[in-house]
Chains A and B, each alone.
Chain A
């Protein structure tokens, strides 16, 4: 039963913490651009406003897609260990690949629902998002396999425990951590990699047809996704830590990603692929080679 409480805590933290962080990110970006920016709670207002509106529904698959997206994101967020074995809701199921693929349920649901809206912009956006996935996942998964190969486990709470004795992966395999961080930016869809949502060219891509509560629900889903993505990075490369430290590290990673993204323009889709399959993928393999040879710190 405790697992359920922990899972609920996961979700609650994911909701309040991440949505606040999103607001903070807007504030940070604004400050970098010498603006005042919205208040940190702006995103809560946006979400609840969206939920309060009278939306349009483009057919049952549109509804179903949104529900599937949110459902998948909730399921994934509920599994993520928050920095330590104690805050691991399901120690038997916190397998890395399970999380990555369960995470894909949400993405698939979103992609399906959005294309189901009948808008070609959504289809273009989804096609871009999937291509981008092909880009960032590859180096990320290679780095992750070397991590799992090194510690002989793919269970995240065990990886955290191993890091407690061995040192953070950021130190043990700095190249891998850097590559994973670059992938993380792509995963978050932040600035150089916000190709899928490019509002100026493809009318915010997948979201083109989202109105009212659909928008709100997807924003919540997005918050859970961020929780999963950044949380995984913190767990796997920054050694997790107690709940407080976990959140602090979370903030650090998030702010860093925001800072980077706020000063960069957008890639084109091929540029993105060439970028990810160039240096980061090469470094990922290099990292794997180092791990194989035992050249880790």
Chain B
């Protein structure tokens, strides 16, 4: 495994030079490597352990676990899809060679994180992933420069808290290896230490998966990164955060560690704290997503909300909640990746990501639209897509635990997700096509095939979820969270909740039957006359032929509702306090302190220096510690 990672890292540099010669060859090679990696993750036997070497007297090692397999598989699905997508998409980019290099580094870094057995290895690969992704982000438009800095800083805040926690653990137990830490933590008598450590470790996950206090980078980074890379950011890199959160509550068995800290229906207080953060993220993400006009930022906020779902699910440490949270990783990864790729396609053709400037693209880009449609069905958690299953499990867990407020917030986020996913659907794809986009064409197949493949996977897993539930069940068994019943019952085609179950196949069949019945009814009655919504584009001086209160309208974009889509609702919270502003104020504060120090100590005249020198001597003499 280690050779694989090192080979990837080295080859990424090689690929830079290949891509310098011809970036298309480089990106094709990337895609092939990625496909090989997907194949490869299935062949590594579980439990394989590889020692990398010694660092500071501690052995660094990789271990192939069920969790690692699951997360690697999901990540690779997203990355490989984007790699294929990039084969064509890259021709709209300025730095294709660097993109090819860094995306391979991101792959290596993330795989390393999922394979890491100890916290230091995890940290090293984590930073590789962060560093390489940080260098891709500023390849986008103007604001992406700032985005990269915000991303790096937020990520660093979390990462260094993680590091602090890791070293606290080390100074107490003398080991970085996660299984051993788990054992030691379970037997540690000091509650405050355990709480501090677990929360510090979780901090990296919080920063990375965009959970509440550190969520603001998602908007700016996802919103401004190169379009296809946003798919990787939201679909894959954010999941690194979920993985670390999972480590902090599941790999370190929080139920055992905090056995004396049970707060409410068996959920320990630190987990509850994390769940509260997750719930706050759901609220913020949903509300902010609803009011975005920039479609990428909209989905960025939705990633905040979905990160919250994952955390809420995992945080409960309930068998169902855990499975739901982990399955949500898969669902959200696929859905967000497809959505961002669809947006990348739109931007590729129209060069704008403002919903208010778009519209009616379904007439020009129907396949992209289909991909987007199915992705949002999954994201909103509507059967028969797989997104429903994870939401269902999380609800089951919340209801079982009687966590009504969290449940209410989860419901709010779920219904809110209908609102925000519909906004781009209506504003970008449906409605009237603005005149300036009348010559827009569908993106080439190499761009839409990856989207459709991901959508198809999500769809199949929604109808027959057992293959994807199996690794999650294995994982859950690893962490010792055993339900009293079989959740994924493939023999009876059932997914079971704490009571009550459902049969995804029946649901799908019913839907198909309903659709067929509707279709039969549809064909029985008179054939419709087609209204050509594109007539104003094709024919000079033709008004649009829909209900206009008798008015003649020749400029279709005037008759398209996409600005302030939920104005009635947005008005209710337009004066909301902004966490982002608060964080900027904090940054400004440090900046001001810097200015103050600069003005008082570094800029003055020689006489002031002399003064400070004298003061130093005086103070030292006086205080002398």
Contact present for B529 and A59 (CB under 8 Å): no
Contact present for B499 and A155 (CB under 8 Å): yes
- Complex CA–CA separation, A127 to B547 (angstroms): 18
Contact present for A158 and B418 (CB under 8 Å): no
Total count of chain B residues near the partner, CB < 8 A: 83
The distance from the CB of B487 to the nearest CB of chain A, in whole angstroms, is 14
Which residues of A are found within 8 Å of B547, using beta-carbon distances? Answer: 119, 121, 203, 208-209
- Complex CA–CA separation, A66 to B524 (angstroms): 15
The distance from the CB of A38 to the nearest CB of chain B, in whole angstroms, is 23
Contact present for A126 and B572 (CB under 8 Å): no
Which residues of B are found within 8 Å of A68, using beta-carbon distances? Answer: 515, 518
Interface residues of A in 62-94 (CB under 8 A from B): 63, 66-75, 78-79, 90, 92-94
Interface residues of B in 540-580 (CB under 8 A from A): 544, 546-547, 549, 556, 559-562, 565-566, 568-569, 571-572
- Complex CA–CA separation, A53 to B529 (angstroms): 11
Interface residues of B in 500-537 (CB under 8 A from A): 500-503, 506-507, 510-519, 521-522, 524-531, 533
Stretch from A21-29, A101-109, A248-256, A257-265 forming part of the interface with B: A101-109
Which of A68, A127, A273 has the most C-beta atoms of chain B within 10 angstroms of its own C-beta?
A: A127
CB-CB under 8 A for A58 and B546, given A52-B526, A98-B392, A126-B422: yes
Main secondary structure of the interface of B (DSSP, over half): helix
Which residues of A are found within 8 Å of B368, using beta-carbon distances? Answer: none
User: Inter-chain contact count A-B, CB under 8 Å?
Assistant: 267
- Complex CA–CA separation, A104 to B380 (angstroms): 10
Contact present for A142 and B566 (CB under 8 Å): no
- Complex CA–CA separation, A209 to B362 (angstroms): 18
User: Given contacts A92-B501, A145-B404, A217-B518, could you give 20 more A-B pairs where the C-beta distance is less than 8 Å?
Assistant: A51-B524, A56-B528, A61-B362, A66-B518, A71-B517, A74-B517, A93-B501, A93-B503, A95-B500, A95-B502, A101-B381, A104-B380, A112-B373, A115-B425, A118-B556, A119-B559, A120-B560, A134-B419, A146-B404, A149-B400
Total count of chain A residues near the partner, CB < 8 A: 88
A sample of 5 inter-chain contacts (CB < 8 A) reads A56-B531, A75-B513, A123-B426, A124-B561, A274-B572
Q: Tell me whether A297 is interfacial, beta carbon within 8 Å.
A: no
Contact present for A117 and B425 (CB under 8 Å): no
Of the candidates B492, B526, B562, B571, the one whose C-beta lies within 8 Å of that of A53 is B526
Q: Tell me whether A228 is interfacial, beta carbon within 8 Å.
A: no
Of the candidates B383, B411, B432, B498, the one whose C-beta lies within 8 Å of that of A105 is B383
CB-CB under 8 A for A131 and B525, given A98-B383, A154-B499: no
Q: Tell me whether B269 is interfacial, beta carbon within 8 Å.
A: no
CB-CB under 8 A for A216 and B525, given A61-B430, A108-B418, A208-B547: yes
Q: Tell me whether A212 is interfacial, beta carbon within 8 Å.
A: yes
Q: Tell me whether B431 is interfacial, beta carbon within 8 Å.
A: yes
Main secondary structure of the interface of A (DSSP, over half): helix
Please name the residue on chain A nearest to B494 by beta carbon: A92
- Complex CA–CA separation, A115 to B361 (angstroms): 13
Q: Tell me whether A46 is interfacial, beta carbon within 8 Å.
A: no
Contact present for B501 and A102 (CB under 8 Å): no
CB-CB under 8 A for A57 and B529, given A134-B412, A149-B400: yes
Please name the residue on chain B nearest to A107 by beta carbon: B418
The distance from the CB of A160 to the nearest CB of chain B, in whole angstroms, is 12
Q: Tell me whether B38 is interfacial, beta carbon within 8 Å.
A: no
- Complex CA–CA separation, A220 to B514 (angstroms): 12
Interface residues of A in 119-145 (CB under 8 A from B): 119-121, 123-124, 126-128, 130-131, 133-134, 137-138, 141-142, 145
Which residues of B are found within 8 Å of A208, using beta-carbon distances? Answer: 546-547
